[in-house]
Every structure is written in structure tokens, then in C-alpha cells.
């Protein structure tokens, strides 16, 4: 198996997401290939650095804030505004989609790697945004 | 989200949505996956709203520029890394963080991002590749210390 094919799958190999036989082939290759081992070590380093990023802890009044918002939302009179709010929400979403399409003109020009990660200009991007809702 | 207060507001909104739509939860999946999905969708909405209002620079799909190789330590290294992660396209960033920090499987991440397992594999592969490109020399410089 060539190095390019191995490197293209090292990320999934590292995450233990490859099927048994393919995983075994990569493991075998790694035993005799220092270059690919170094690639794998670099992926490990990237993950270790990402794990070290500071995590934000919730403030002490976080839970009480959620509870008071939930109480306010279920208070009488709140539902009167839910329909206009939903209409406004859909309208803003439509605005976002149009905005995203226009911004696509100044965005990426590269080929699509996956439909699910398509550029803002494309119809598939608008489609995936719609089905995500 | 850019700052702590926006992130906290959004997190509160996530739990509010969870409370409101608890009846819609299907017990076939994990509760955490469902909550992450709500959080991801709300984050995307909020990022879109921020872009609409502030016309923030959209890094989605932009070519990533390598960071100058130099010896960074401590706080400076963390800040540089944070900037690099922020520059990743939203979907790549979400997939990588869900994998590395939350240790979710590709199939769980796929359910959260509403995409296929192969797409998740590609997103994570590209996220790591982009980070590697951006971190460049930093990755080499810090290899000895680990």
C-alpha cells in the first residue's frame, strides 16, 4: 500500500474508525515506515494541543438563569408571541440563506470534498442548510 | 462565539430548547447527542446572525495560511492554537472538537451534524490537515517538549 493512501486514512485509523482488515494493513505498514509513523505522531500532537485549550466553566448562576428563563417562557401571555416569533425566525433564516449565497461569490473556489461541507455559493449548501433546520 | 458571555447565553438557550422540546426526544439515541445537535444548530444560527449584523470576516473555505514557525510557549501558544481552531470552517471545527474533546464516534458526530459517517471522516481529516498546515513550525518546535 502506498504512503498517500495510508496518510489519507491515518486520521480515521487514529480514531479507531476503520474496518478490521484495512486497519490491520495500516498497522502492518506503520511497523516498517518511519515517515508514516511521524505523520501519526503529528496527528497525536495536534489532538494533544487541542485538548489543552482552555475550557470554559459555567458561571455559578448558570442553572438559575436557565430556570428563570424557562419560567418566563411558560408564563401566561408568552405564547401569544410564539407564532409571530416563529414567522420572524423563518424570515431571518431566509435572509441568512440569501446572505450566505451572496457571500459565496467572495468565498472559496476549490472543488467540493463532500456535499455536506459544500461552499456557501452552491445550491447544495442552501439545501443542506434547509434540511438541517 | 467569540466571548464568554455570548457562549453562556447560548448555552442557556440550549438548555431552554431542551426543556421546551423534551417531548420530541426519541429515546433511540443518546440524550447527549440530542443536546449537542441542538447546541450545534443554535451556534450556527447565532454565527449567521453575528455575520449578518457585524459582517464578520467569513473564514469558511478560505485557504489557510501557515503560522510563522517560532518558539511559542504557554499562554502565547494557547492563544495561537485558539486562533487557528477559530479559523477552521465551522463544520470541520465542530467535528474535530466533538471527536477530540468529547470523544464521540464518527456515527454520533454524523447524527449531530446531520451528515454521513464518511463525511465526518473527511471533515476531521481536513480539520487536522488544516491545523497542521497552520501550526507548521510550532508543531515541530513543541514536539520535543511532549
Question: What value of ipTM does the predicted structure carry?
Answer: 0.75
Chain A residues in contact with B109 by the CB 8 A cut-off are none
Distance from the Cα of B121 to chain A's closest Cα (Å) equals 6
In this structure, is residue A33 part of a structural domain? yes
pLDDT of residue B125: 96
- CATH number of the structural domain spanning residue B75: 1.10.10.10
Which residues constitute the domain of residue B35?
Answer: 1-56
Inter-chain touch B119–A96, beta carbons under 8 Å: no
Question: CB A57: neighbour CB atoms within 10 A?
Answer: 7
CB-CB under 8 Å, B11 with A58: yes
**Cβ–Cβ below 8 Å for A70 and B16:** yes
pLDDT at B99 over 60: yes
Q: What is the dihedral of CA A17, A133, A57, A54, to 10 degrees?
A: 50
Task: State whether B50 and B68 are in the same domain.
Answer: no
Top pLDDT among B20 and A16 is at: A16
C-beta separation of B142 from A45 below 8 A: yes
Domain count, chain B: 2
| Torsional sign, CA A12, B64, B6, B75 | positive
- Is the residue at A64 inside a domain? no
Average pLDDT over chain A, rounded to an integer = 76
Q: What is the pLDDT of residue B129?
A: 93
Is the pLDDT at B85 greater than 70? The verdict is yes
Number of domains in chain A: 2
Same domain? B80 vs B39: no
A positions 24-43 inside 8 Å of B (CB): 41-43
Instruction: Please give the model's pTM, rounded to 2 decimal places.
Output: 0.68
**Region of poorest pLDDT, from A16-30, A72-86, A111-125:** A111-125
B70/B11: higher pLDDT: B11
Q: Mark which of B39, B56, B73 sits at the end of a domain.
A: B56
Q: Are residues B42 and B102 in the same domain?
A: no
CA distance between the termini of chain B:
30
**Mean predicted confidence (pLDDT) in B24-43:** 87
Percentage of chain B modeled with pLDDT above 70: 78
Q: Which of B51, B85, B89 sits opposite A50 (nearest CB)?
A: B85
- Please give the residue range of the domain that contains residue A85: 81-132
Same domain? For B44 and B15 the reply is yes
pLDDT at position B73, please?
62
Amino acid at each position: 500500500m502506498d504512503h498517500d493512501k495510508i496518510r489519507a486514512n491515518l486520521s480515521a485509523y487514529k480514531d479507531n474508525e476503520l474496518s478490521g482488515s484495512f486497519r490491520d494493513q495500516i498497522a502492518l505498514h506503520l511497523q516498517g515506515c518511519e515517515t508514516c509513523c511521524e505523520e501519526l505522531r503529528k496527528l497525536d500532537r495536534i489532538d494533544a494541543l487541542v485538548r489543552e485549550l482552555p475550557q470554559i466553566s459555567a458561571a455559578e448562576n448558570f442553572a438559575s438563569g436557565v430556570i428563570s428563563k424557562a419560567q418566563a417562557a411558560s408564563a401566561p401571555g408568552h405564547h401569544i408571541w410564539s407564532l409571530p416569533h416563529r414567522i420572524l425566525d423563518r424570515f431571518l433564516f431566509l435572509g441568512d440563506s440569501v446572505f450566505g449565497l451572496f457571500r459565496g461569490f467572495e468565498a472559496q473556489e476549490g472543488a467540493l470534498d463532500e456535499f455536506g461541507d459544500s461552499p456557501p455559493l452552491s445550491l447544495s449548501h442552501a439545501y443542506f442548510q434547509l434540511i438541517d433546520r | 462565539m467569540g466571548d464568554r458571555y455570548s457562549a453562556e447565553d447560548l448555552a442557556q438557550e440550549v438548555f431552554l430548547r431542551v426543556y421546551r422540546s423534551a417531548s420530541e426526544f426519541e429515546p433511540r439515541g443518546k440524550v447527549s447527542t440530542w443536546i449537542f445537535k441542538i447546541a450545534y444548530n443554535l451556534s450556527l444560527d447565532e454565527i449567521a446572525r453575528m455575520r449578518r449584523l457585524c459582517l464578520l470576516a467569513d473564514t469558511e473555505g478560505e485557504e489557510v495560511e501557515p503560522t510563522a514557525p517560532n518558539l511559542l510557549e504557554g499562554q502565547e501558544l494557547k492563544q495561537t492554537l485558539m486562533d487557528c481552531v477559530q479559523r477552521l470552517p465551522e463544520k470541520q471545527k465542530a467535528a474535530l472538537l466533538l471527536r477530540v474533546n468529547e470523544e464521540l464516534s464518527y456515527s454520533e458526530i454524523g447524527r449531530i451534524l446531520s451528515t454521513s459517517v464518511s463525511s465526518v471522516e473527511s471533515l476531521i481529516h481536513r480539520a487536522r490537515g488544516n491545523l497542521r498546515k497552520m501550526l507548521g513550525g510550532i508543531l515541530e518546535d513543541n514536539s520535543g517538549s511532549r
